[in-house]
Amino acid sequence: MALPLPKIDLPVYEMTLPSSQEKIKFRPFTVKEEKILLVAQESGEPEQQIVAVKQIVNNCLLDNDVSEFAMFDLEYVMLSLRAKAVDNKIPFAITDEDTQEKVELELDLDMVKLETNPEHTNRVKINDDYTLFLKYPTIDEFIKIATSDPNDPLTSYFILISCLDKVASEDEVFNFSEYTQEDIDKFMEDVSSDVVRGIEKFFSTMPELRYDVPYTLKDGTEKQFKIQGINAFFS
Protein backbone atom coordinates (compact mmCIF):
# COMPACT_ATOMS: atom_id res chain seq x y z
CA MET A 1 0.00 0.00 0.00
CA ALA A 2 1.37 3.36 -1.00
CA LEU A 3 2.29 5.84 1.65
CA PRO A 4 0.07 8.95 1.91
CA LEU A 5 1.30 11.89 -0.11
CA PRO A 6 3.19 14.49 1.94
CA LYS A 7 1.38 17.59 3.12
CA ILE A 8 2.99 20.69 1.69
CA ASP A 9 3.60 23.49 4.18
CA LEU A 10 2.97 26.88 2.63
CA PRO A 11 4.82 30.05 3.71
CA VAL A 12 2.95 32.66 5.74
CA TYR A 13 3.21 36.36 4.91
CA GLU A 14 2.07 39.52 6.64
CA MET A 15 0.69 42.70 5.12
CA THR A 16 -1.15 45.86 6.18
CA LEU A 17 -4.70 46.64 5.05
CA PRO A 18 -4.80 50.08 3.38
CA SER A 19 -8.11 51.17 4.94
CA SER A 20 -7.48 50.32 8.60
CA GLN A 21 -3.69 49.74 8.79
CA GLU A 22 -4.51 46.38 10.42
CA LYS A 23 -1.84 43.67 10.13
CA ILE A 24 -3.12 40.47 8.53
CA LYS A 25 -1.50 37.10 7.77
CA PHE A 26 -1.99 35.12 4.58
CA ARG A 27 -0.67 32.22 2.56
CA PRO A 28 -0.14 32.39 -1.23
CA PHE A 29 -2.90 30.88 -3.29
CA THR A 30 -2.44 27.45 -4.81
CA VAL A 31 -3.69 25.49 -7.83
CA LYS A 32 -7.12 25.34 -6.18
CA GLU A 33 -7.40 29.12 -6.14
CA GLU A 34 -5.89 29.41 -9.63
CA LYS A 35 -8.75 27.26 -10.96
CA ILE A 36 -11.31 29.52 -9.29
CA LEU A 37 -9.67 32.55 -10.93
CA LEU A 38 -9.64 30.95 -14.39
CA VAL A 39 -13.32 29.96 -14.23
CA ALA A 40 -14.29 33.50 -13.23
CA GLN A 41 -12.06 34.95 -15.95
CA GLU A 42 -13.76 32.83 -18.61
CA SER A 43 -17.24 33.85 -17.40
CA GLY A 44 -16.69 37.56 -18.11
CA GLU A 45 -19.36 38.33 -15.48
CA PRO A 46 -18.44 41.12 -13.01
CA GLU A 47 -20.48 39.54 -10.21
CA GLN A 48 -18.84 36.14 -10.61
CA GLN A 49 -15.41 37.74 -10.78
CA ILE A 50 -15.90 39.63 -7.51
CA VAL A 51 -17.29 36.50 -5.83
CA ALA A 52 -14.27 34.52 -7.06
CA VAL A 53 -11.79 37.06 -5.69
CA LYS A 54 -13.69 37.08 -2.39
CA GLN A 55 -13.52 33.27 -2.19
CA ILE A 56 -9.81 33.16 -3.05
CA VAL A 57 -8.86 35.80 -0.50
CA ASN A 58 -11.06 34.19 2.16
CA ASN A 59 -9.32 30.85 1.52
CA CYS A 60 -5.88 32.36 1.95
CA LEU A 61 -6.35 34.61 4.98
CA LEU A 62 -5.40 32.93 8.25
CA ASP A 63 -7.29 34.98 10.82
CA ASN A 64 -9.65 37.33 8.97
CA ASP A 65 -12.98 37.21 7.17
CA VAL A 66 -13.22 39.37 4.04
CA SER A 67 -16.95 40.04 4.45
CA GLU A 68 -16.37 43.47 5.97
CA PHE A 69 -13.40 44.42 3.79
CA ALA A 70 -13.59 47.50 1.60
CA MET A 71 -13.42 46.63 -2.10
CA PHE A 72 -9.96 48.17 -2.52
CA ASP A 73 -8.72 46.16 0.49
CA LEU A 74 -9.89 42.98 -1.22
CA GLU A 75 -8.18 44.00 -4.47
CA TYR A 76 -4.97 44.92 -2.63
CA VAL A 77 -4.81 41.60 -0.79
CA MET A 78 -5.56 39.73 -4.02
CA LEU A 79 -2.68 41.58 -5.67
CA SER A 80 -0.32 40.45 -2.92
CA LEU A 81 -1.55 36.85 -3.15
CA ARG A 82 -1.06 36.76 -6.90
CA ALA A 83 2.39 38.33 -6.69
CA LYS A 84 3.54 35.77 -4.10
CA ALA A 85 2.07 32.75 -5.92
CA VAL A 86 2.99 33.28 -9.57
CA ASP A 87 5.11 35.41 -11.87
CA ASN A 88 4.54 39.10 -11.24
CA LYS A 89 4.17 39.68 -14.97
CA ILE A 90 0.91 38.65 -16.65
CA PRO A 91 0.63 38.77 -20.48
CA PHE A 92 -2.67 39.85 -22.02
CA ALA A 93 -4.00 41.33 -25.25
CA ILE A 94 -6.25 44.29 -26.05
CA THR A 95 -7.84 45.72 -29.17
CA ASP A 96 -7.11 49.42 -29.65
CA GLU A 97 -10.47 51.19 -29.63
CA ASP A 98 -9.49 53.66 -32.36
CA THR A 99 -7.70 51.43 -34.88
CA GLN A 100 -9.02 47.97 -33.88
CA GLU A 101 -5.40 46.80 -33.91
CA LYS A 102 -4.69 43.88 -31.57
CA VAL A 103 -1.86 44.65 -29.16
CA GLU A 104 0.01 42.25 -26.88
CA LEU A 105 0.69 43.79 -23.45
CA GLU A 106 2.12 42.78 -20.11
CA LEU A 107 0.80 43.62 -16.66
CA ASP A 108 3.53 43.99 -14.04
CA LEU A 109 1.84 43.39 -10.68
CA ASP A 110 4.67 45.16 -8.87
CA MET A 111 3.73 48.34 -10.73
CA VAL A 112 0.05 48.32 -9.72
CA LYS A 113 -0.39 50.91 -6.98
CA LEU A 114 -3.18 51.92 -4.65
CA GLU A 115 -4.04 55.52 -5.51
CA THR A 116 -5.67 57.82 -2.98
CA ASN A 117 -7.41 61.03 -3.98
CA PRO A 118 -6.18 63.92 -1.78
CA GLU A 119 -9.76 65.25 -1.63
CA HIS A 120 -11.10 61.99 -0.19
CA THR A 121 -12.65 62.33 3.27
CA ASN A 122 -15.06 60.26 5.34
CA ARG A 123 -16.62 63.31 7.03
CA VAL A 124 -19.50 65.41 5.75
CA LYS A 125 -20.69 68.40 7.75
CA ILE A 126 -24.47 68.39 8.23
CA ASN A 127 -24.71 71.62 10.24
CA ASP A 128 -22.91 73.39 13.08
CA ASP A 129 -23.88 70.60 15.49
CA TYR A 130 -23.68 67.33 13.59
CA THR A 131 -21.17 65.61 11.31
CA LEU A 132 -21.89 62.57 9.15
CA PHE A 133 -19.19 59.86 9.18
CA LEU A 134 -18.96 57.48 6.23
CA LYS A 135 -17.63 53.95 5.75
CA TYR A 136 -16.54 51.88 2.79
CA PRO A 137 -19.20 49.56 1.35
CA THR A 138 -18.61 45.87 2.06
CA ILE A 139 -17.82 43.33 -0.67
CA ASP A 140 -21.41 42.09 -0.77
CA GLU A 141 -22.69 45.65 -1.07
CA PHE A 142 -20.26 46.21 -3.94
CA ILE A 143 -21.55 43.10 -5.69
CA LYS A 144 -25.08 44.48 -5.44
CA ILE A 145 -23.90 47.83 -6.84
CA ALA A 146 -21.96 46.17 -9.69
CA THR A 147 -24.97 44.13 -10.77
CA SER A 148 -27.54 46.93 -10.51
CA ASP A 149 -28.83 49.09 -13.34
CA PRO A 150 -26.74 52.30 -13.25
CA ASN A 151 -29.71 54.25 -14.62
CA ASP A 152 -32.02 53.09 -11.85
CA PRO A 153 -32.44 55.81 -9.16
CA LEU A 154 -32.56 53.05 -6.54
CA THR A 155 -28.97 52.13 -7.43
CA SER A 156 -27.77 55.65 -6.61
CA TYR A 157 -29.73 55.57 -3.36
CA PHE A 158 -28.28 52.19 -2.37
CA ILE A 159 -24.76 53.56 -2.97
CA LEU A 160 -25.51 56.47 -0.66
CA ILE A 161 -26.88 54.41 2.23
CA SER A 162 -24.19 51.74 1.91
CA CYS A 163 -21.66 54.42 2.92
CA LEU A 164 -23.45 55.59 6.07
CA ASP A 165 -21.61 54.89 9.33
CA LYS A 166 -22.70 57.29 12.04
CA VAL A 167 -23.83 60.81 12.89
CA ALA A 168 -22.04 62.54 15.75
CA SER A 169 -21.97 65.77 17.69
CA GLU A 170 -19.71 66.73 20.57
CA ASP A 171 -22.02 64.91 22.99
CA GLU A 172 -23.87 62.24 20.97
CA VAL A 173 -23.16 59.40 18.54
CA PHE A 174 -25.82 57.69 16.43
CA ASN A 175 -24.66 54.48 14.71
CA PHE A 176 -26.71 53.64 11.62
CA SER A 177 -26.28 49.91 12.31
CA GLU A 178 -28.62 50.34 15.29
CA TYR A 179 -31.49 51.77 13.23
CA THR A 180 -34.10 50.29 10.91
CA GLN A 181 -34.20 50.89 7.17
CA GLU A 182 -37.28 53.05 7.74
CA ASP A 183 -35.35 55.24 10.20
CA ILE A 184 -32.48 55.60 7.73
CA ASP A 185 -34.84 56.46 4.87
CA LYS A 186 -36.45 59.16 7.00
CA PHE A 187 -33.03 60.58 7.89
CA MET A 188 -31.99 60.70 4.24
CA GLU A 189 -35.19 62.50 3.28
CA ASP A 190 -34.21 65.35 5.58
CA VAL A 191 -30.56 65.88 4.57
CA SER A 192 -29.56 68.69 2.25
CA SER A 193 -28.27 68.31 -1.29
CA ASP A 194 -24.82 69.38 -0.06
CA VAL A 195 -24.71 66.34 2.23
CA VAL A 196 -25.75 64.05 -0.63
CA ARG A 197 -22.99 65.49 -2.81
CA GLY A 198 -20.52 64.89 0.02
CA ILE A 199 -21.51 61.20 0.20
CA GLU A 200 -21.26 60.89 -3.59
CA LYS A 201 -17.79 62.46 -3.50
CA PHE A 202 -16.68 60.02 -0.79
CA PHE A 203 -17.76 57.10 -2.99
CA SER A 204 -16.30 58.44 -6.24
CA THR A 205 -12.91 59.30 -4.69
CA MET A 206 -12.35 56.04 -2.79
CA PRO A 207 -8.83 54.57 -3.12
CA GLU A 208 -8.37 52.24 -6.08
CA LEU A 209 -5.75 50.04 -7.68
CA ARG A 210 -4.46 51.54 -10.91
CA TYR A 211 -1.80 50.87 -13.50
CA ASP A 212 -1.26 52.57 -16.86
CA VAL A 213 0.28 50.18 -19.40
CA PRO A 214 2.10 52.02 -22.23
CA TYR A 215 1.98 50.59 -25.75
CA THR A 216 2.87 51.60 -29.29
CA LEU A 217 0.78 50.96 -32.41
CA LYS A 218 2.29 49.82 -35.71
CA ASP A 219 2.17 53.38 -37.04
CA GLY A 220 4.26 54.58 -34.08
CA THR A 221 1.40 56.15 -32.11
CA GLU A 222 2.07 55.89 -28.38
CA LYS A 223 -0.86 55.21 -26.06
CA GLN A 224 -1.68 53.95 -22.59
CA PHE A 225 -4.14 51.30 -21.45
CA LYS A 226 -5.54 51.96 -17.99
CA ILE A 227 -6.21 49.04 -15.67
CA GLN A 228 -8.25 49.78 -12.56
CA GLY A 229 -9.40 47.76 -9.60
CA ILE A 230 -10.45 44.18 -10.10
CA ASN A 231 -9.76 44.42 -13.85
CA ALA A 232 -6.09 43.92 -12.95
CA PHE A 233 -6.87 40.21 -12.50
CA PHE A 234 -9.26 39.70 -15.41
CA SER A 235 -7.56 41.52 -18.31
pLDDT range class, residue 134, cuts 50, 70, 90? very high
Q: Which of 45-49, 139-143, 200-204 has the lowest mean pLDDT?
A: 45-49
The helix (run of H) or strand (run of E) holding residue 225 is: strand 222-228
Q: What is the mean pLDDT of the chain?
A: 86
Instruction: Find the angle CA(166)-CA(167)-CA(173) to the nearest 5 degrees.
Output: 90
pLDDT of residue 190: 92
- Which is more confidently placed, 142 or 181? 181
Q: Please, which residues bridge with residue 32 across strands?
A: none
Report the range out of 7-21, 151-165, 220-234 with the highest average pLDDT. Answer: 151-165
Mean pLDDT score, 108-131: 89
Q: Which of 81-85, 121-125, 145-149, 228-232 shows the lowest mean pLDDT across its residues? A: 228-232
pLDDT tier, 222 (very low <50, low <70, confident <90, very high otherwise): very high
Distances (CA, A) of 90 to 3, 36, 109, 149, 218: 38, 17, 8, 32, 22
Per-residue pLDDT tens for 2-57? 788 777 778 888 888 888 888 999 888 888 888 888 888 787 777 788 888 889 89
Residue 234 has pLDDT above 70, yes or no: no
Domain residue limits, the chain: 13-115+207-233, 123-204
Q: What is the 3-state secondary structure (H, E, C) of 78-124?
A: HHHHHHHHCCCEEEEEEECCCCCCEEEEEEEHHHCEEECCCCCCCEE
pLDDT value at 156 more than 80: yes
First to last CA, the chain: 46
Could you tell me the CA-to-CA distances from 125 to 36, 136, 183, 184 in Å, in that order? 43, 18, 20, 17
HSE (side-chain half, CA atoms, 13 Å) at 104: 2
Amino acid, res. 5: L
**Edge-to-edge, what's the strand order for the sheet holding 208-216?**
113-115, 208-216, 222-228
Q: What is the mean pLDDT of residues 173-187?
A: 95
On the question of pLDDT at 235 being above 70, the answer is no
Query: Residue range 116-120: average pLDDT?
Result: 91
